[in-house]
């Protein structure tokens, strides 16, 4: 099972949601949240082999994702395009 970490707006700030556990970590900025999510994904990848980070914009739309160490832009139709 691929470990998923979701970065999204949350209560005036940003959060990382750990899909496997439901844990929510809060941050002041989206950049802080994305950096933490990528670090958590790297740890999960080292332990379990697979991890993704899903990035949402301020409106809550999925705009990109990190799959392993590769970033993919998510087009408006939901299709991933390699960056």
Domain limits at 14? 3-82
Q: Can you say how many angstroms the Cα of residue 41 is from the centroid of all Cα atoms in its chain?
A: 8
Query: What is the pTM for the complete model shown?
Result: 0.87
Please answer whether residues 14 and 4 qualify as being in contact, where contact means their C-beta atoms are separated by less than 8 angstroms. no
Q: What is the DSSP letter of 11?
A: T
The beta-carbon contacts of 18-21 under 8 Å, at least 24 apart in sequence, are none
Distance CA(72)–CA(47), nearest Å, equals 23
pLDDT tens string, the chain, 83 residues long: the values are 689 999 999 999 999 999 999 999 999 999 999 999 999 999 999 998 899 999 999 999 999 999 977 888 887 765 655 55
Residue 21 φ/ψ region, left for φ over 0, alpha for ψ in the -120 to 50 degree band, beta for the rest: alpha
* Domain count across the chain: 1
């Amino acid at each position: 099972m691929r470990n998923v970490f979701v970065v999204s707006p949350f209560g005036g700030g940003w959060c990382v949601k750990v899909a496997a556990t439901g844990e929510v970590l809060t941050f002041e900025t989206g950049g802080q949240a994305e950096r933490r999510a990528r670090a958590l994904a790297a740890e999960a990848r080292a332990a379990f082999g697979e991890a993704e980070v899903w990035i949402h914009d301020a409106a809550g739309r999925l705009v990109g994702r990190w799959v392993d160490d590769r970033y993919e832009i998510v087009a408006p139709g939901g299709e991933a395009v390699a960056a």
